[in-house]
Amino acid sequence: MSAAATSAHGEVVIRYEKVCKRFGPKVVLQDLDLSVRRGETLAIMGPSGIGKSVTLRHAVGLLHPDSGRVLVEGHDMRTIEPVDLIALRKRMGYLFQDGALINWLSVGENVALPLRENTALPDDEIRAKVEHSLALVQMVNSYHLRPPELSGGMRKRVGLARALVTEPDIVFYDEPNTGLDPEISMSVNHLIRDLAERLKITSIVVTHLVSCVLFAADRVVLIDQGRVFAEGTPEEFLKDPNERVQRFLAKPYD
C-alpha cells in the first residue's frame, strides 16, 4: 500500500529508524522504520504481543532501542538531556489502556495532576483548565465524582481529559476502546477524530479494532514480526490483497 495519506500533513514529528528491541530472547521490534507527520492520526495495528505498546513507549522515552534511533521533534530519545525530556513530555498526552485514574482522588483532582506536578499555576487557573479539558471530552458535570462512580467509558474520557489538560501537541492512545461496549467504543472513536480536527494534534492510536481505524485514523500501519508489514489509508488497508493482511483482518477482533 502507499503512504499517500501523509501528503496532506506537515513535517515529520516522530521517526523510528531501524529500531530493534528485545526482552531477553524475545525480539519485539526488528528494524522498525516508521514516521508520523504533524497533525496526522496514525493507527498502529497488529497481533497481540507484537510490540504496539512498546512502540509507543519508545516515543515517550520510557524505553530505549537496543539499536536504531527514535527521534521526536528532532530529539534522539536515547541521548536527550533530562531537562529537554521534561519539556518535551509536557507537550505530550498519554491515554493508558485502563485510564490509570487514582480512585481516592476526585475526577477533577485526577485531571489536575499533570498541572500540579509540572507547573506553578494558581488554583483558580488549574480549575479553569481542568473544567475546559473535561468539557472537551463531554464530562462537564463530573468534577467531584470519584473513579469508582464512573463507567468504563467515562473513566476513559477522564483519562483523556487528563492527557489533554496540558494542551499537548502529541497524544498517544494505548488501546482506547479496550473493555468498552460497541456504542461507547464508537463514541471514543468520534472523540479521537473530533479532537484531532479541532485541536490539530498529532496522534498515535494503538488499536486492534477496525472500527477505530476506519473512523479515527488518517493512516494505518500493520506491524508484524517487529516491522511495518503494510501501510496506507484505512480504505487501502481493508482492500489490501495480501493474504497476511486479510488473515489478520479476518480475526474476530471487532
Residue identified by cell 531537562 is 83
Q: Residue 74 has what pLDDT? A: 93
Write down all domains in the chain, each with its CATH number in brackets.
4-91+168-249 (3.40.50.300)
Q: Per residue of the chain (254 residues), what is the pLDDT tens digit?
A: 433 344 445 789 999 999 999 999 999 999 999 999 999 999 998 877 788 889 999 999 999 999 999 999 999 999 999 999 988 988 898 887 666 788 999 999 999 998 998 888 899 999 999 999 898 888 888 999 999 999 888 888 898 889 888 888 999 998 887 777 787 788 788 888 888 888 888 999 998 888 888 888 999 999 988 889 888 898 888 888 888 777 777 764 44
The set of residues, in sequence order, having a beta carbon less than 8 Å from that of 235 and lying 6+ positions away, is none
Residue 1 has a pLDDT of 45
Q: What pLDDT shows up at residue 51?
A: 86
DSSP letters spanning the chain: ---GGGGGS-SEEEEEEEEEEEETTEEEEEEEEEEEETT-EEEEE-STTSSHHHHHHHHHTSS--SEEEEEETTEETTT--HHHHHHHHTTEEEE-TT----TTS-HHHHHHHHHHHH----HHHHHHHHHHHHHHTT-TT-TT--GGGS-HHHHHHHHHHHHHTT--SEEEEESTTTT--HHHHHHHHHHHHHHHHHH--EEEEE-S-HHHHHHH-SEEEEEETTEEEEEE-HHHHHH---HHHHHHHTSS--
Question: What is residue 5's predicted lDDT score, i.e. its pLDDT?
Answer: 40
Task: Calculate the alpha carbon distances from 3 to 67, 135, 180, 227 in Å.
Answer: 25, 34, 31, 16
Distance CA 26, CA 73 (A): 30
